[in-house]
Amino acid sequence: MSEFWLKVDKTLRYHGRQILRATRNAWWNVHQKQSVNPVFVIGCSRAGTTLVYKTLSESKELGTLQRETHDFWVDLHPLADKNWDTHGLNSQDANTKDRDEVSRYFYTFTGKTRFIDKNNQNGLCIPFLHALFPKAHFIFVKRSPGDNINSLIEGWGKPEEFATWSRELKEKVTVENGRYTQWCFFLSDGWRNYLNKSIEEVCAFQYCAINNEILAAKKQIPSHLWSEVFYEDLVRNPVSGFRQAFEQCGLAFTQDIEQHCAHVLSTPYNAFSEIRLDKWKDGRNREKIERIMHSVAPTAQSMGYPAE
Protein backbone atom coordinates (compact mmCIF):
# COMPACT_ATOMS: atom_id res chain seq x y z
CA MET A 1 0.00 0.00 0.00
CA SER A 2 1.40 3.41 -0.93
CA GLU A 3 2.11 6.09 1.68
CA PHE A 4 -0.87 8.10 0.43
CA TRP A 5 -3.34 5.26 0.98
CA LEU A 6 -1.82 4.48 4.36
CA LYS A 7 -2.55 8.05 5.42
CA VAL A 8 -6.09 7.80 4.05
CA ASP A 9 -6.64 4.55 5.94
CA LYS A 10 -5.29 6.08 9.16
CA THR A 11 -7.50 9.15 8.79
CA LEU A 12 -10.63 7.09 8.15
CA ARG A 13 -9.92 4.88 11.13
CA TYR A 14 -9.42 7.90 13.37
CA HIS A 15 -12.71 9.52 12.34
CA GLY A 16 -14.47 6.17 12.59
CA ARG A 17 -13.35 5.85 16.20
CA GLN A 18 -14.50 9.39 16.93
CA ILE A 19 -17.96 8.70 15.50
CA LEU A 20 -18.21 5.43 17.43
CA ARG A 21 -17.29 7.14 20.70
CA ALA A 22 -19.78 9.94 20.09
CA THR A 23 -22.49 7.36 19.42
CA ARG A 24 -21.70 5.46 22.59
CA ASN A 25 -21.68 8.66 24.60
CA ALA A 26 -25.10 9.61 23.25
CA TRP A 27 -26.40 6.11 24.07
CA TRP A 28 -25.05 6.38 27.60
CA ASN A 29 -26.74 9.77 28.09
CA VAL A 30 -30.08 8.10 27.39
CA HIS A 31 -29.63 4.80 29.24
CA GLN A 32 -27.02 5.77 31.88
CA LYS A 33 -26.01 2.17 32.44
CA GLN A 34 -23.54 1.88 35.30
CA SER A 35 -20.30 -0.06 35.11
CA VAL A 36 -20.54 -3.59 36.46
CA ASN A 37 -17.86 -5.39 38.51
CA PRO A 38 -14.81 -3.52 37.17
CA VAL A 39 -11.33 -4.93 37.76
CA PHE A 40 -8.64 -2.71 39.28
CA VAL A 41 -4.99 -3.75 39.13
CA ILE A 42 -3.13 -2.30 42.09
CA GLY A 43 0.42 -2.39 43.39
CA CYS A 44 3.55 -0.33 43.69
CA SER A 45 4.89 1.34 40.58
CA ARG A 46 7.35 -0.94 38.75
CA ALA A 47 5.90 -4.04 40.49
CA GLY A 48 4.63 -5.73 37.32
CA THR A 49 1.17 -4.17 37.29
CA THR A 50 1.43 -3.37 33.58
CA LEU A 51 2.16 -7.02 32.80
CA VAL A 52 -0.94 -8.10 34.71
CA TYR A 53 -3.11 -5.33 33.27
CA LYS A 54 -2.11 -5.98 29.68
CA THR A 55 -2.58 -9.73 30.03
CA LEU A 56 -6.01 -9.48 31.63
CA SER A 57 -6.90 -7.00 28.90
CA GLU A 58 -6.73 -9.93 26.49
CA SER A 59 -10.07 -11.09 27.86
CA LYS A 60 -12.96 -10.30 25.55
CA GLU A 61 -15.16 -10.00 28.63
CA LEU A 62 -13.49 -6.78 29.71
CA GLY A 63 -13.35 -3.34 28.20
CA THR A 64 -9.86 -1.90 28.23
CA LEU A 65 -8.20 1.30 27.12
CA GLN A 66 -4.82 -0.46 26.83
CA ARG A 67 -3.22 2.48 28.58
CA GLU A 68 -2.99 4.12 31.98
CA THR A 69 -5.59 6.65 33.03
CA HIS A 70 -3.78 8.99 35.45
CA ASP A 71 -5.14 12.20 33.96
CA PHE A 72 -8.75 11.03 33.96
CA TRP A 73 -8.78 10.09 37.64
CA VAL A 74 -6.83 13.16 38.78
CA ASP A 75 -9.25 15.42 36.91
CA LEU A 76 -12.08 14.04 39.06
CA HIS A 77 -10.29 15.19 42.23
CA PRO A 78 -7.41 17.52 41.31
CA LEU A 79 -4.24 17.33 43.36
CA ALA A 80 -4.30 21.11 43.81
CA ASP A 81 -7.58 20.78 45.71
CA LYS A 82 -5.74 18.62 48.25
CA ASN A 83 -2.71 20.91 48.48
CA TRP A 84 -0.70 18.30 46.54
CA ASP A 85 -0.51 16.18 49.69
CA THR A 86 -1.37 12.80 48.19
CA HIS A 87 -2.93 10.97 45.26
CA GLY A 88 -4.94 9.05 47.84
CA LEU A 89 -8.72 9.19 47.99
CA ASN A 90 -11.04 7.74 50.62
CA SER A 91 -14.65 6.61 50.63
CA GLN A 92 -15.87 10.09 51.60
CA ASP A 93 -14.51 11.42 48.32
CA ALA A 94 -16.80 9.15 46.28
CA ASN A 95 -20.10 10.43 44.95
CA THR A 96 -22.75 9.64 42.37
CA LYS A 97 -21.33 12.15 39.90
CA ASP A 98 -17.98 10.36 39.98
CA ARG A 99 -19.65 6.99 39.43
CA ASP A 100 -21.55 8.31 36.45
CA GLU A 101 -18.47 9.96 34.95
CA VAL A 102 -16.36 6.80 35.29
CA SER A 103 -19.11 4.62 33.83
CA ARG A 104 -19.62 6.99 30.92
CA TYR A 105 -15.89 7.32 30.23
CA PHE A 106 -15.10 3.62 30.05
CA TYR A 107 -18.26 2.76 28.13
CA THR A 108 -17.57 5.51 25.59
CA PHE A 109 -14.06 4.24 24.93
CA THR A 110 -14.63 0.47 25.21
CA GLY A 111 -18.30 -0.23 24.53
CA LYS A 112 -18.48 -2.47 27.61
CA THR A 113 -19.95 -2.02 31.07
CA ARG A 114 -17.27 -4.18 32.69
CA PHE A 115 -13.78 -2.77 32.37
CA ILE A 116 -10.25 -3.22 33.67
CA ASP A 117 -8.10 -0.29 34.77
CA LYS A 118 -4.59 0.30 36.09
CA ASN A 119 -2.55 3.32 37.04
CA ASN A 120 0.16 4.12 39.58
CA GLN A 121 -2.19 5.81 42.02
CA ASN A 122 -5.04 3.30 42.31
CA GLY A 123 -3.34 1.57 45.21
CA LEU A 124 -3.83 4.73 47.27
CA CYS A 125 -7.52 4.98 46.34
CA ILE A 126 -8.98 1.57 47.20
CA PRO A 127 -11.60 2.87 49.68
CA PHE A 128 -12.70 5.42 47.06
CA LEU A 129 -12.90 2.84 44.27
CA HIS A 130 -14.73 0.36 46.49
CA ALA A 131 -17.27 3.04 47.47
CA LEU A 132 -17.87 3.82 43.78
CA PHE A 133 -18.15 0.17 42.76
CA PRO A 134 -18.86 -2.13 45.74
CA LYS A 135 -18.54 -5.23 43.53
CA ALA A 136 -15.25 -4.25 41.92
CA HIS A 137 -12.47 -6.84 42.00
CA PHE A 138 -8.96 -5.81 43.10
CA ILE A 139 -5.78 -7.61 42.00
CA PHE A 140 -2.80 -6.81 44.19
CA VAL A 141 0.49 -7.34 42.35
CA LYS A 142 3.41 -7.86 44.74
CA ARG A 143 7.10 -7.75 43.93
CA SER A 144 10.08 -8.44 46.16
CA PRO A 145 11.61 -5.29 47.64
CA GLY A 146 15.07 -5.60 46.09
CA ASP A 147 13.89 -5.87 42.50
CA ASN A 148 10.99 -3.45 42.92
CA ILE A 149 13.12 -0.72 44.50
CA ASN A 150 15.83 -1.28 41.89
CA SER A 151 13.26 -0.64 39.17
CA LEU A 152 11.93 2.43 41.01
CA ILE A 153 15.44 3.87 41.14
CA GLU A 154 15.83 3.29 37.39
CA GLY A 155 12.43 4.87 36.80
CA TRP A 156 13.39 8.03 38.65
CA GLY A 157 15.99 8.49 35.93
CA LYS A 158 13.18 8.76 33.37
CA PRO A 159 11.19 11.85 34.44
CA GLU A 160 9.91 12.33 30.88
CA GLU A 161 7.95 9.12 31.43
CA PHE A 162 7.15 9.06 35.15
CA ALA A 163 7.09 12.72 36.25
CA THR A 164 5.10 14.56 33.57
CA TRP A 165 2.26 15.07 36.06
CA SER A 166 4.49 16.71 38.73
CA ARG A 167 5.68 19.77 36.84
CA GLU A 168 3.30 22.00 38.78
CA LEU A 169 4.72 21.09 42.18
CA LYS A 170 5.81 24.17 44.09
CA GLU A 171 8.33 22.29 46.21
CA LYS A 172 11.95 22.11 45.08
CA VAL A 173 12.98 18.51 44.55
CA THR A 174 16.67 17.86 45.17
CA VAL A 175 16.79 14.12 45.66
CA GLU A 176 20.31 12.61 45.69
CA ASN A 177 21.94 16.04 46.09
CA GLY A 178 20.00 17.46 43.15
CA ARG A 179 20.51 14.63 40.69
CA TYR A 180 16.73 14.13 40.57
CA THR A 181 14.65 17.31 40.33
CA GLN A 182 11.21 15.99 39.34
CA TRP A 183 9.05 13.87 41.65
CA CYS A 184 8.19 10.56 40.03
CA PHE A 185 5.36 8.03 40.17
CA PHE A 186 2.97 9.20 42.92
CA LEU A 187 2.44 11.35 46.00
CA SER A 188 1.62 9.71 49.32
CA ASP A 189 1.32 11.19 52.80
CA GLY A 190 4.71 12.34 54.04
CA TRP A 191 6.37 12.68 50.65
CA ARG A 192 7.68 16.16 51.42
CA ASN A 193 9.94 14.67 54.09
CA TYR A 194 11.96 13.08 51.28
CA LEU A 195 12.61 16.05 49.02
CA ASN A 196 16.31 16.08 49.92
CA LYS A 197 16.89 12.42 50.70
CA SER A 198 18.94 9.83 48.85
CA ILE A 199 17.25 8.08 45.95
CA GLU A 200 17.22 4.75 47.78
CA GLU A 201 15.48 6.34 50.78
CA VAL A 202 12.84 7.89 48.50
CA CYS A 203 12.15 4.63 46.70
CA ALA A 204 12.05 2.65 49.94
CA PHE A 205 9.52 5.18 51.25
CA GLN A 206 7.37 4.80 48.13
CA TYR A 207 7.54 1.00 48.25
CA CYS A 208 6.39 0.92 51.86
CA ALA A 209 3.87 3.73 51.58
CA ILE A 210 1.75 2.28 48.81
CA ASN A 211 2.03 -1.37 49.85
CA ASN A 212 1.08 -0.53 53.43
CA GLU A 213 -1.90 1.48 52.17
CA ILE A 214 -3.01 -1.50 50.10
CA LEU A 215 -2.62 -3.93 53.00
CA ALA A 216 -4.66 -1.63 55.23
CA ALA A 217 -7.42 -1.22 52.64
CA LYS A 218 -7.57 -4.99 52.08
CA LYS A 219 -9.37 -5.33 55.41
CA GLN A 220 -12.34 -3.40 54.01
CA ILE A 221 -12.78 -5.56 50.89
CA PRO A 222 -14.72 -8.85 50.88
CA SER A 223 -12.30 -11.73 50.31
CA HIS A 224 -14.03 -12.92 47.12
CA LEU A 225 -13.36 -9.50 45.57
CA TRP A 226 -9.63 -9.56 46.34
CA SER A 227 -6.80 -11.43 44.60
CA GLU A 228 -3.06 -11.32 45.12
CA VAL A 229 -0.30 -12.38 42.79
CA PHE A 230 3.44 -12.52 43.29
CA TYR A 231 5.33 -11.11 40.32
CA GLU A 232 7.91 -13.83 40.87
CA ASP A 233 5.28 -16.56 40.33
CA LEU A 234 4.34 -15.01 37.00
CA VAL A 235 7.97 -15.03 35.90
CA ARG A 236 8.48 -18.65 36.95
CA ASN A 237 5.24 -19.97 35.46
CA PRO A 238 3.10 -17.34 33.69
CA VAL A 239 0.43 -19.78 32.50
CA SER A 240 -0.27 -21.12 35.98
CA GLY A 241 -0.08 -17.69 37.61
CA PHE A 242 -2.38 -16.01 35.14
CA ARG A 243 -4.84 -18.90 35.06
CA GLN A 244 -5.45 -18.34 38.75
CA ALA A 245 -5.82 -14.58 38.28
CA PHE A 246 -8.35 -14.98 35.46
CA GLU A 247 -10.39 -17.52 37.40
CA GLN A 248 -10.47 -15.40 40.55
CA CYS A 249 -11.86 -12.53 38.50
CA GLY A 250 -14.51 -14.81 37.01
CA LEU A 251 -12.94 -14.60 33.54
CA ALA A 252 -12.63 -17.44 31.07
CA PHE A 253 -9.05 -18.66 30.61
CA THR A 254 -9.41 -19.63 26.96
CA GLN A 255 -6.92 -21.51 24.81
CA ASP A 256 -5.98 -18.29 23.03
CA ILE A 257 -5.27 -16.58 26.34
CA GLU A 258 -3.26 -19.56 27.55
CA GLN A 259 -1.11 -19.34 24.42
CA HIS A 260 -0.66 -15.63 24.99
CA CYS A 261 0.46 -16.23 28.56
CA ALA A 262 2.91 -18.91 27.49
CA HIS A 263 4.84 -16.33 25.47
CA VAL A 264 4.01 -13.12 27.34
CA LEU A 265 7.50 -12.70 28.82
CA SER A 266 9.16 -12.78 25.41
CA THR A 267 7.75 -9.32 24.61
CA PRO A 268 7.87 -7.50 27.96
CA TYR A 269 5.75 -4.42 28.63
CA ASN A 270 7.78 -1.38 29.65
CA ALA A 271 10.69 -3.37 31.10
CA PHE A 272 14.01 -1.58 31.51
CA SER A 273 16.05 -4.74 30.90
CA GLU A 274 15.66 -8.49 30.62
CA ILE A 275 13.06 -10.14 32.80
CA ARG A 276 14.67 -12.23 35.54
CA LEU A 277 14.53 -12.47 39.29
CA ASP A 278 16.99 -10.92 41.76
CA LYS A 279 18.38 -8.55 39.14
CA TRP A 280 19.24 -6.05 41.84
CA LYS A 281 21.89 -8.32 43.33
CA ASP A 282 24.22 -7.95 40.35
CA GLY A 283 23.07 -4.50 39.26
CA ARG A 284 24.49 -1.03 39.68
CA ASN A 285 22.11 -0.15 42.52
CA ARG A 286 23.03 -3.05 44.81
CA GLU A 287 24.88 -1.06 47.46
CA LYS A 288 22.12 1.54 47.62
CA ILE A 289 19.44 -1.12 48.05
CA GLU A 290 21.39 -3.02 50.68
CA ARG A 291 21.46 0.16 52.78
CA ILE A 292 17.66 0.35 53.02
CA MET A 293 16.60 -3.32 53.02
CA HIS A 294 16.18 -3.31 56.79
CA SER A 295 13.70 -0.44 56.58
CA VAL A 296 11.41 -2.19 54.09
CA ALA A 297 11.63 -5.64 55.70
CA PRO A 298 8.47 -5.31 57.86
CA THR A 299 6.38 -4.27 54.85
CA ALA A 300 7.82 -7.02 52.66
CA GLN A 301 7.15 -9.63 55.31
CA SER A 302 3.55 -8.42 55.65
CA MET A 303 3.22 -8.98 51.91
CA GLY A 304 4.43 -12.57 52.26
CA TYR A 305 8.15 -12.27 51.54
CA PRO A 306 10.72 -13.90 53.83
CA ALA A 307 13.27 -11.76 55.61
CA GLU A 308 16.44 -11.25 53.54
In whole angstroms, give the CA distance from residue 129 to residue 111.
Answer: 21
2-to-6, 11, 12, 15, 190 alpha-carbon distances in Å = 6, 14, 16, 20, 56
8 Cα distance to chain centroid: 35
- The 3-class SS string of the chain reads CCHHHHHHHHHHHHHHHHHHHHHHHHHHHHHCCCCCCCEEEEECCCCCHHHHHHHHCCCCCCECCCCCCHHHHHHHCCHHHHCCCCCCCCHHHCCHHHHHHHHHHHHHHHCCCCEEEECCCHHHCHHHHHHHCCCCEEEEEECCHHHHHHHHHHHHCCHHHHCHHHCCCCCCCCHHHHCECCCCCCCCCCHHHHCCCCHHHHHHHHHHHHHHHHHHHHCCCCHHHEEEEEHHHHHHCHHHHHHHHHHHCCCCCCHHHHHHHHCHHHCCCCCCCCCCCCHHHHCCCHHHHHHHHHHHHHHHHHHCCCCC
CA atoms of 270 and 98, how far apart (whole Å): 30
243 φ, ψ (degrees, to nearest 5): -55, -45
Q: Please tell me the predicted confidence (pLDDT) of residue 267.
A: 78
CATH 3.30.70.260 assigned to 34-303: no
**pLDDT for position 269:** 75
Question: Tell me, what's the pLDDT at 28?
Answer: 61
Q: What is the CA radius of gyration of the chain?
A: 20
pLDDT at 189: 97
Exposed, middle or buried by CB within 10 Å (0-12, 13-18, 19+), for 113? Answer: middle
Distance of alpha carbon 75 from alpha carbon 86, whole angstroms = 14
Q: Domain residues of the chain, as ranges?
A: 1-31, 34-303
- Structure confidence at residue 131 (pLDDT): 98
> pLDDT value at position 31?
64
Predicted model pTM = 0.91
Q: Are 174 and 181 within 8 A, CB to CB?
A: yes
pLDDT in tens, the chain (308 residues): 567 656 555 665 665 666 666 677 665 666 678 888 999 999 999 999 999 999 999 999 999 999 999 899 999 999 999 999 999 999 999 999 999 999 999 989 898 999 999 998 999 999 999 999 999 999 999 999 999 999 999 999 999 999 999 999 999 999 999 999 999 999 999 999 999 999 999 999 999 999 999 999 999 999 999 999 999 999 999 999 999 999 999 999 999 999 999 999 987 776 666 788 989 999 999 999 999 999 999 999 999 999 76
Confidence (pLDDT) at 26: 65
